[in-house]
Amino acid sequence: MAGINYARWDHLDSSSDEESFSPPTPPTSPRRPIRPSSFVQQDRPLPCNEELRAQVLREEEELAAFVQRNPCPSENTMKAWLRNAAHQEGPPDEGSQTFSQLMRHMGWTPKKLGWFDYPSFRVLWESAGRRCPGAFLDQRRAGRELYEQGGRECMQFHYYALHYAMCGDSVLHGINKPLPVYGFASHLGKVWDGIGSWLA
């Protein structure tokens, strides 16, 4: 007689996507108007210094190459990773912080997974590889949509989810990340300046 495959039973205890990713309680903080960013312009000027200009262009090429080699993970992959992070328990890993630990530190319960908006996440991921006014506009639009969905906390959630997914090893396993990848979230934080209560 064939043995029973218990692997499929592992999913019985886990909640469905509809439950895990249903919208959380809307934010109660007052809405603030969206104003232009005072930190980053749509057409970012390159440095006048030739050496600095070459460095900026080289870093942008490295980031674009990274995004081309590592397309945005699928919605199912991201939701599985987020669900695992939300339900993970135990002591922190030695010498590293995980998205799970960040969620606990921020007080984000599993119900906050409802903030996750894959289309916005994907737009942000893909925009990392482009230096053009369109990338800036896509990043601003995604930030506005996330703010409307769940306020500043929803924006923070995506800011950190993007950073940990791009830079950590839990989503992109064993991939060497160039230095500009680690700075992309910081760039995004500046682009979002002035969206509601978000300040760079």
Residue 24 falls inside a structural domain: no
* Predicted pLDDT at 124: 97
pLDDT of residue 55: 81
Whether residue 150 lies inside any domain: the answer is yes
Which domain covers residue 111, as residue numbers?
Answer: 47-191
Report how far apart, in Å, the C-alpha atoms of 124 and of each of 17, 93, 183, 187, 198 are: 22, 28, 14, 11, 17
Question: Per residue in 93-120, pLDDT tens?
Answer: 554 578 999 999 999 999 999 999 999 9
161, 85 Cβ separation under 8 angstroms: no
* Rounded Cα–Cα distance for residues 21 and 40 (Å): 32
pLDDT at 11: 40
Does residue 68 lie within any of the structural domains? yes
Note the pLDDT tens digit of each residue in 170-181.
899 888 999 999
Is residue 9 one of the residues assigned to a domain? no
Top-confidence range, 89-93, 117-121, 166-170: 117-121
- The residue type found at 5 is N
In a domain, 139, yes or no: yes
Contacting residues for 121 by C-beta, under 8 A, at least 6 apart: 72, 78, 158, 161, 162
Low-confidence winner among 7-21, 22-36, 63-77, 161-175 (lowest mean pLDDT)? 7-21
Confidence of residue 133 (pLDDT cuts 50, 70, 90): confident
The answer on pLDDT for 42 being more than 80 is no
Q: Annotate 169-180 with b (16+ C-beta within 10 A) or e (fewer).
A: eebbeeeebeeb
Q: How many domains does the chain have?
A: 1
pLDDT at 77 over 60: yes
Residue written as tokens 């210094």? 49
Q: Name residue 12's amino acid.
A: L
Half-sphere exposure of 29 (CA within 13 A, CB side): 13
For residue 59, CA distances in Å to 26, 150, 179, 192 come to 38, 33, 8, 21
Q: Looking at the domain assignment, is residue 37 inside a domain?
A: no
Q: Note whether residue 51 is domain-resident.
A: yes
Q: What mean pLDDT do residues 128-140 have? A: 86
Q: What is the pTM of this model?
A: 0.80
On the question of pLDDT at 1 being above 50, the answer is no
